[in-house]
Structure 1
Amino acid sequence: MPFGAAEEQIIDAAKNYSTVLHKASELVTQAPDELLSGSPATIYLKKLGHRPLTSEDLTNVINALGSADDKQIVLDFQQAQLELSQRLQQTKNIGLVLKQANIPYQQAYARFSRSDLWKPDQMIQIMEVLRRLQL
């Protein structure tokens, strides 16, 4: 399957989501505690930046405090995650693609079953490998 517009959309969605993640990490200090998961101590550490935010936390912060464009970027990214999983299931040389992208097969296998686990940088790496290999 040649590299086309759908694949470019996956890359664009991942890049846009990366910028929104940066914005969300700045907005988390303004977020009410109810938006973040964990104990009160964990929430405090997340607001200080000492604990990583989960993808659910980031989505909650963007949906509550982000602009309409930010919310659309989150939706586009979630759709891109599904498209990437479907695209990789159709790829015959998946082992080669994962090795070139430096993603362990076990990690990728978990992401095939739950596409919401794909991270933006992994998605970009895989799509760049698919482009380079012309798969």
Structure 2
Amino acid sequence: MPFGAAEEQIIDAAKNYSTVLLKASELVTQASDDLLSGSPATIYLKKLGHRLLTSEDSTNVINALGDAQDKQIVLDFQQAQLELSQRLQNTKNIGLVLKQAKIPYQQAYARFSRSDLWKPEQMIQIMEVLRRLQL
């Protein structure tokens, strides 16, 4: 499959989501405790920035406190995760792609079955490798 507009949309969605994650880490101080997962101590540490937000936490914060554009970016990213998993299932030489993207096969295999586990950096790495290899 040649590299096309759908693949560019995956890269754009991942880049946009990375910026939204930064915004979520800033908005977390305004978030109520019920938006964050974990014990009260963990929630406190997340609000201080000493503990990383999970993807679920970030999504909850953006859906509650973000504007309409941020919410659309989150939805676009979730769709891009599904498209990437489908794209990789149809890709030959997946081992070569993962090796060049420096993503362990076991980790990628888990993400094939649960596409919501893909991280934006990994998605960009894989799409850049696919572009370079013209797969």
Specify the TM-score bucket, using the shorter chain as the normaliser.
over 0.9
- The alignment partner of 1:2 has SS state of coil
Measure the CA separation in 1 of the matches of 2:42 and 2:100: 37
Measure the CA separation in 1 of the matches of 2:37 and 2:4: 38
Q: Deviations over 1:77-129 (max 9, x none)?
A: 00000000000000011000000000000000000000000000000000000
Q: TM-score, normalised to structure 1's length?
A: 0.99
Q: Gaps (5+ residues) in structure 1?
A: none
Measure the CA separation in 1 of the matches of 2:8 and 2:93: 20
- Identity of counterpart residues, as a percentage? 93
Deviation at 1:30, TM superposition (A): 0.5
1:28 matches 2:24 = no
Deviation at 1:31, TM superposition (A): 0.3
CA RMSD across the alignment: 0.3
Give structure 1 regions of 4+ aligned residues with deviation exceeding 2 angstroms.
none
Tell me how many residue pairs correspond in the alignment: 135
Deviation at 1:76, TM superposition (A): 0.1
Measure the CA separation in 2 of the matches of 1:95 and 1:124: 17
Deviation at 1:69, TM superposition (A): 0.1
Deviation at 1:32, TM superposition (A): 0.5
- The alignment partner of 1:28 has SS state of helix
